[in-house]
Structure 1
Amino acid sequence: MTTRRKEDYQESLIKRSLRYLNTGFPVHFTGPPGVGKTTSALQLAKKRNRPVIFMSGHEDLSTNDLIGSFSGYKRNKLDDNYIHTVRKVEENVEESWKKGRLYEAVEQGHTVIYDEFTRTSPAVNNLFLPVLEERILPLFGTKRTASYIDVHPKFAMIFTSNPLEYSGVHPSQDALRDRMITMRFQLMEEERKHQVLASETSLKDKDISMILSIVSRAEEKKNEQGGSVRLPLMIAKVADRYQMKVSGDNPNFREVCYDILWHHEDDMSDEEFEELFSK
């Protein structure tokens, strides 16, 4: 989709996504790492003015984590000896129930951000099908009296995922994907990255351009595909916070670039690192 104005890419995405959430449809942000999926999800969730629950997908996530489980027993004992000649003793033992994060969100009408949901087993993610379609949360395997609870009318979900070729990612089920509105994030062009850094910091345009140029040169030396905003944003935020002069002549700024980029460019020679700051 072509951006009509330089400044309303993010505004348009959030506005469209908010419409879908408020109509009752979950949204799904998918794309490579570092293109702003999680940041956009957080911004979108805040727009709803509802409590937000953030969950990260991972291999060990279970239905107990989502629904809840019994956490032990509660013992209540009443020893009534108010009348001297009469002693009344009552003792009750009850199982303690700890609500899962999804249970709490469904019950209270929170907004859930399920980050990188495809890192969780598809068998566990099947739980979301009745939540999104029938608007109920099944309580199977919980020994609860009720077999399900109704989903609060204000409940909403935002999913994010990385492409399938990334490590640790499971294929998402067609049935689940069909119930979402998917917004695809592409690798960012320099203009878009410039917008992000300008919105997140108070740096001047020329300083932002220099940071982007340094990171771009580092990516070229490694033959890596550019498009992620994560590394330039890290450099920009540190420089902005400590009011550093963005220049190759500033040793503090050079140290920031070294620390942030060297880990990713660990086979770069000192000479190659110096070339990052060339005009």
Structure 2
Amino acid sequence: MADDASRKRKVRGRKIRSDQSRKESRKAKKELARKANGSERTGDSPLSDPEEVTPEPFVETDAVRSLRGRITGWLEANQPVHLIGPTGCGKTALALSAAAERGRPVVWLNGDDAVDTAALVGDHAGGERYKEDDRFVGGVTKQTEIVRERWVDNPLSVAVREGATLVYNEFSRSDPAAHNVLLSVFEEGVLERPGKRGEDRTIDVHPEFRAILTSNDVEYAGVHRQQDALLDRFVGVQVDYYDEETEREIVRAHVDLPDERVEAIVDATRALRDDLEIVVGTRAAITAAKGLSVFDGQGNGEFNDELLTKVFTDVLAPKIAGEGADDVDDLRTEIGEAI
């Protein structure tokens, strides 16, 4: 009888351990499925609140509000907007301001030659492992290790799924081949994720998804010509340098200088823009103002054309870097004559 009771306890013990093992296995499978279905995100989310992306400071004059109104109007019409213009004219700040106006989450993406399809939609990032223990008979255990690749969505996938506003900065610096996935997004409302397997290979585009893209003019170095099939699905808004008063307000918002100094800097910027072959953007005016605030002693030192020439030479010299000292001297002369 004692042996029979002992045998029953052993059998019951194996059954309990087997039941626990099966429960743990089921729990591991559910956890893996939950992660695979995206209910638990890993890493930092590319989603940002609109308030977080609003440029600070951001100047709003009639010219700025009018241009932003065109952008938000096209977004309301469910049209992707492509902002095109010279470097340093404020395209990025304008795009972020327009995105924030919608009140929807914002996803930021910066283009360059390294951006490929995976950088847009996502890729496999390592694997997840769990073990299963199968107990067939007493004293015999079979252990199986299961490995499943983990997929991580990148900015475009997150934006189309969550109905965010995608701000794709320097769009034309990315390889056009990477943008093939955008065709189905804007035309059919579906994003395909190459490399992803299973029923969730595609994502239906959220009805609130919108896109704002910024690019420099085509003559800039490093700019790729994008495929016409994609460009036909955008509306293009040309962004140029703002009017004189708006440029003054922008400089004032960034640097604390007396009004006469700000006027002198903006006047010089606009003169150099007309006379020089290199690009002289509003960003250059802001940088010059920051330098002048130091070298001019916040307006208490000696301010003259010579100081203004030196400041703008330092600001613009990187645009001809590597061309030689004589070229910098020539640039200084041209700046002095323009000022």
The letter for the 2-side match of 1:156 is R
Q: Which residue of 1 aligns with 2:197?
A: 143
CA change 1:249–1:201 in 2 (3 A) is closer
Q: Which residue of 1 aligns with 2:282?
A: 229
Deviations 1:231-252 (A, max 9, x none): 1012335666998228654999
Please show how residues 40-119 of structure 1 align to structure 2 within 5 Å: 40-77=94-131, 91-119=145-173
* TM-score, normalised with respect to structure 1: 0.79
For 1:34 and 1:16, the matched residues in 2 are separated by 20
For 1:195 and 1:208, the matched residues in 2 are separated by 9
CA change 1:132–1:200 in 2 (3 A) is farther
Whether the 8 Å CA contact 1:187–1:227 is kept in 2: the answer is no
2:71 paired with 1:27: no
**Alpha-carbon shift at residue 64 of structure 1 (Å):** 0.9
2:180 paired with 1:180: no
Please show how residues 126-205 of structure 1 align to structure 2 within 5 Å: 126-205=180-259
The letter for the 2-side match of 1:159 is L
**Alpha-carbon shift at residue 137 of structure 1 (Å):** 0.5
Q: 3-state DSSP class of the match of 2:199?
A: coil
**Alpha-carbon shift at residue 100 of structure 1 (Å):** 1.7
**Alpha-carbon shift at residue 271 of structure 1 (Å):** 11
CA change 1:272–1:235 in 2 (3 A) is closer
The letter for the 2-side match of 1:244 is Q
CA change 1:7–1:72 in 2 (3 A) is closer
Please provide the CA RMSD for this pair. 3.6
CA change 1:246–1:18 in 2 (3 A) is farther
Unmatched segments (≥5 aa) in structure 2: 1-59
CA change 1:278–1:33 in 2 (3 A) is closer
* TM-score, normalised with respect to structure 2: 0.67
The letter for the 1-side match of 2:123 is S
For 2:219 and 2:300, the matched residues in 1 are separated by 36
Unmatched segments (≥5 aa) in structure 1: 1-5
- The structure with the greater share of residues assigned to helix is 2
For 1:17 and 1:214, the matched residues in 2 are separated by 30
CA change 1:249–1:206 in 2 (3 A) is closer
Give the fraction of aligned pairs with identical amino acids, expressed as a percent: 33
**Alpha-carbon shift at residue 173 of structure 1 (Å):** 2.1
**Alpha-carbon shift at residue 37 of structure 1 (Å):** 0.9
Whether the 8 Å CA contact 1:52–1:110 is kept in 2: the answer is yes
